[in-house]
Amino acid sequence: MSKERLVESIRKIPDFPIKGILFYDVTTLFKDSQTLQALADELYEMYKDKGITKVVGIESRGFIMGPILATRLGAGFVPIRKPGKLPAETYEESYDKEYGKDIIQIHKDALEENDVVLIHDDLLATGGTMKAACNLVKRLSPRKIYVNFILELKDLHGIDSFEKDTEVQSVLSL
């Protein structure tokens, strides 16, 4: 399946969650088995030779492709969640997003120093959520961190928020 066809499958919703935001709904990529499989295949091909030991998914859409990719790569899955959702001791990071502030957390024992981590989320807009996730993961001192998105909105320049030594890739871009 072509990347153009995957892009065409994404639903666009104006003025969501607030007026002035054009929301790209990637959940439409998940509802069709062929599209879901094509997306899983693309992600697997991007990371199959990187030695990934843990895939970290960001709540909530990172919880869809993250575990699928972890299974394909033979890696574990670690959730990053909103406050109050993880039962053990956590680190937390606050950040700004396009339309407000938020906080995310990770378990303090989620990763080890020898882990090669792929942090996955659905969309790169301004980069605030993923930058906060990277900061959380770095506190656990893994050996290497990769960053991945299903979709990058290039006009928002979110990729510029990452350090130059961080490998950031997206399956699709608009």
User: For the segment 37-71, what is each residue's pLDDT rounded down to a tens digit?
Assistant: 999 999 999 999 999 999 999 999 999 999 999 99
Q: Catalytic residue among 42, 59, 92, 98, which? A: 98
pLDDT of residue 142: 98
Q: For every residue of 131-162, which 3-state class applies, written as one string?
A: HHHHHHHHHCCCCEEEEEEEEECHHHCHHHHC
CA angle 159, 108, 130 (to 5 degrees): 10
CB atoms within 10 A of CB 31: 9
Q: Catalytic residue among 61, 81, 93, 152, which? A: 61
pLDDT of residue 172: 97
Taking a C-beta distance cutoff of 8 angstroms, is the pair 65, 43 a contact?
yes
Confidence check: pLDDT of 98 > 70? no
Q: Assess whether 61 carries a catalytic annotation.
A: yes
Global confidence as pTM: 0.95
CATH no. for 51-173: 3.40.50.2020
pLDDT band of 99, cuts 50, 70, 90? low
Q: Average of pLDDT values for 7-18?
A: 94
Q: Average of pLDDT values for 134-144?
A: 97
- Compare 165 and 121 and report the one with higher pLDDT: 121
Cβ contacts of residue 27 below 8 Å, gap of 6+?
A: 11, 61, 64
